[in-house]
């Protein structure tokens, strides 16, 4: 399979067309951004690490019956995926209060939520990705009422599977962002990636609040040791994946 023109370049990935119009090639970059790209930098080998983690987790979710765009991991930085039209929503699932939820509600960081919270944000950098209600989603014609319900159901199922998986990796899944797309039949597929870029992950084995951070917050907050944190997540995810295969 050969690649054709570049279709899109985002903050963390480049999407290329292939000689099959229903298949794209995703290239994972080392670029790192935060605060809507107001802060920029590089995390060495981030693309390699995130491609490995995302490949493993998307395959895990496929095995649980979650439809995803994943086809195969082509190289250390490349993944073949089904062509989808991305729904311009970020679906955020929160298990523990952190980040913007604390800033906007006054909840204390680390407070366990009584049940997982599913939120929608508009994918629009110019508007700073605002929080949307279902009624606003309908108003903007971003998704239908049925699609909103399906996204909520999928997000909760994904959270259930990932929380258990990460727990077995001695990692707490605090919160995470999902993106979905529509294939040519209009089926909703989980797209984008699941990685330390898109998840807030805390090390169960570490009590110190700063040292326990294993995700992009290390870059956002200048905590240092970003690469080693990402690599630690990769090691645990791949080890647990291998364990499941052999069980």
> What secondary structure does DSSP assign to the chain, as a single string?
--EEEEEEE-SSEEEEEESSTTEEEEEE--EEEETTTTEEEE-TTHHHHHHHHHHHHHHHHHHTT--BSEEEE-SSSEEEEE--EE-SEEEEEEEE--THHHHHH-PPTTPEEEEEEEEEEE--GGGT--EE-HHHHHHTTSS-HHHHHHHHHHHHHHHHHHHHHHHTTTEEEEEEEEEEEE-TT--EEEES--STTTEEEEETT--STTTTB-STHHHHTT-S-HHHHHHHHHHHHHHHHHHHHH-
Q: What are the tens digits of pLDDT across the range 168-224? A: 999 999 999 999 999 999 999 999 999 999 999 999 999 999 999 999 999 999 999
pLDDT < 50 stretches in the chain: none
Task: Report the pLDDT value the prediction gives residue 222, as an integer from 0 to 100.
Answer: 96
What is the model's pLDDT at position 35?
87
What's the pLDDT score for residue 67? Answer: 98
Q: Cα-atom radius of gyration of the chain, to the nearest Å?
A: 17
User: From residue 99, how far is each of 81, 104, 128, 199 by CA, in Å?
Assistant: 31, 9, 15, 12
Task: Look up the pTM and report it.
Answer: 0.96
Task: Check residue 2 and give its pLDDT.
Answer: 64
Query: Which domains, from first to last, does the chain contain?
Result: 3-82 (3.30.200.20), 85-224 (3.30.470.20)
């Amino acid at each position: 399979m050969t690649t054709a023109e570049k279709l899109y370049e985002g903050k963390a990935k480049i999407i290329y067309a292939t000689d099959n119009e229903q298949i794209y090639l995703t290239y994972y970059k080392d670029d790192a951004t935060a605060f809507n790209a107001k802060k920029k930098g590089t995390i060495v080998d981030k693309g390699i690490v995130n491609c490995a983690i995302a490949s493993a987790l998307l395959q895990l979710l496929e095995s649980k019956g979650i439809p995803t765009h994943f086809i195969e991991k082509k190289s250390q930085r490349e993944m073949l995926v089904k062509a989808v039209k991305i729904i311009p929503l970020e679906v955020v699932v929160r298990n523990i209060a952190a980040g913007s939820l604390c800033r906007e509600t006054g909840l204390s960081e680390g407070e366990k939520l009584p049940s997982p919270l599913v939120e929608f944000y508009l994918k629009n950098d110019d508007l700073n990705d605002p929080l949307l209600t279902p009624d606003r989603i309908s108003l903007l014609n971003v998704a239908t009422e049925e699609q909103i319900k399906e996204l909520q159901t999928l997000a909760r199922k994904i959270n259930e599977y990932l929380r258990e998986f990460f727990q077995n990796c001695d990692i707490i899944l605090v919160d995470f962002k999902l993106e979905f797309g529509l294939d040519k039949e209009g089926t909703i597929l989980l797209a984008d990636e699941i990685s330390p870029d898109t998840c807030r992950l805390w090390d169960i084995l570490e009590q110190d609040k700063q040292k326990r951070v294993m995700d992009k917050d290390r870059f956002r907050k200048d905590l240092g040791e970003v690469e080693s944190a990402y690599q630690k997540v990769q090691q645990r995810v791949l080890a647990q994946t291998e364990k499941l295969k052999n069980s």
